[in-house]
Structure 1
């Protein structure tokens, strides 16, 4: 059996997220598996590096699947991109070691989040940015980003009610860049909890807009209460940019 690694780009607006749902064909995983079954004549299950929310996007989602097909990878990629919807693109196919697992071998991820920060919304950018018209204090915004970096228990910045597994994560950097009305945030870490990037993003904006004090971040780390953090930013501004693997498993 061959083990095939996929790098995938998609616009998530029309979909209910990454994970296949039994009662819907509106998922990224489901669409790709359907086309793979069509071209390989096998029941294929693809393993993603993680789930993306309904409406969220990806430039570098990674997945893998096992197949007995001997079809050349360039032909497989061509057929996948021919039959998949135009908002799902297979950027790369690579045959990898049989033990490669897109989820369990991942050692880090990079997400981007885009905010349209102006009084007047944009007719074009509105599909992939969060319209946030409030005036922002950039010093407070930067301070909030810095407070959220480090190794902490992030359960208060997630939608998890509780977890049997550790909710301690390391966020190595949160970088913000402004170009005109667009704020681009880059989040890099070893892994992120359910809705963690979106809740951190909402908290950063609420601090910068003066809705909550900067000290709220420290309080949430201490008391682990989700309700004390900022709002959950919507999915439309979120992109999974890259998944990191050990060098020998890339």
Structure 2
């Protein structure tokens, strides 16, 4: 049986999503790797199943990045109803993680390859003083920001483009071509929000785009500079990488042919 899970987490205390050891490998005593979300989830699922379980996710998140609804799938011969997987697994997870839902899915469903889009949200406090409440979910920028200028500049990135200038040198993707479907910048009081959707993302792509747009918003670069950076295909021409704590993986989006909750479906 194959199951899909919706997983919510605060990534502050984790070293990113990806497991740092091979599946089932036990590191030598005293050499345990830092905690990762995948390893923590798999340990909880394996405890419920009383057998090893390996997961595949929709999109790997970096250290310090959060998720509203990460989607994973796993295969098992163990018989549990969806409610049992949700409650049993959540009870074995730290307070910073929970299972939102569990549904059985066809064997050809893939959390990664069946997704047609991924959504991120980046939020920051634009104020002279850093945030105290909610700081694990907010980045901070003390310089006054022109949100309208950032939004206009962001529209130059839409479409299927080569985003070589906006990925880290450590990115392992075979190529940098991605379809950016949405990049909106808005303000509500002192909170500035970047809403981003693409068919897929490169390593650090969202944080590098945000860091570059902040250069425009602070008046250090003209709006047209963003298009020049994109055209350069040179990471050194872009702005700095924005901090991780403001970034939330809202979740993937799948065609309605899959029996999944409404929050991850869309009309193709």
> Which bracket does the TM-score occupy, shorter chain normalised?
over 0.9
Give the CA deviation at 1:216: 2.4
Alignment of 1:172 with 2:171, yes or no, is no
Say what the alpha-carbon RMSD is for the aligned residues: 1.5
The 5-angstrom pairing of residues 182-197 of structure 1 reads 182-197=191-206
- Pairing 1:14–2:13 present: yes
Alignment CA distance shift 1:125-1:241 (3 Å): same
The more displaced of 74-83 and 170-179 is: 170-179
User: Conserved in 1, the CA contact under 8 Å of 2:151 and 2:186?
Assistant: no
Instruction: Work out the CA distance in 2 between the residues paired with 1:161 and 1:30.
Output: 22
Aligned 1:49-64 pairs, distance under 5 A: 49-64=58-73
* Stretch deviating more after TM superposition (155-164 or 167-176): 155-164
Contact 2:170-2:203 at 8 Å conserved across structures: no
Residues 164 and 245 (structure 1 numbering): CA distance in 2 closer, same or farther, change over 3 Å? closer
Of 225, 240, 257, the residue aligned with 1:231 is: 240
**Match in the other structure for 2:210:** 201
CA distance in 2, matches of 1:244, 1:46: 18
Deviation for aligned residue 1:161: 5.8
Distance 1:178 1:147 in 2: 20
2:103 pairs with 1:103 = no
Aligned to 1:153: 162
What residue is the counterpart of 1:115 in the other structure?
A: 124
Task: Write the distance in 2 (CA, Å) between the matches of 1:165 and 1:218.
Answer: 23
Question: How far is the alpha carbon of 1:164 from its aligned partner?
Answer: 6.9
> So what's the TM-score if we normalise by structure 1?
0.95
Which residue does 1:3 correspond to in 2?
Answer: 2
Contact 1:116/1:125 (8 A) holds in 2: no
Q: Equivalent residue for 1:83?
A: 92
Q: Which runs of 4+ in 1 moved over 6 A?
A: none
Q: Taking structure 1 as reference, are residues 224 and 89 closer, same or farther at Cα in structure 2, changes over 3 Å only?
A: same
> 1: CA distance between counterparts of 2:51 and 2:73?
15
If the length of structure 2 is used for normalisation, what is the TM-score?
0.89
Any unmatched runs of 5+ in structure 1?
none
1:162 and 1:91 map into 2 onto residues whose CA distance is 30
User: Using a 3 Å threshold, how does the CA distance of structure 1 residues 72 and 188 change in structure 2: closer, same or farther?
Assistant: same
Query: Which stretch of the first structure deviates more once superposed, 153-162 or 124-133?
Result: 153-162
Deviation, structure 1 residue 211? 2.2
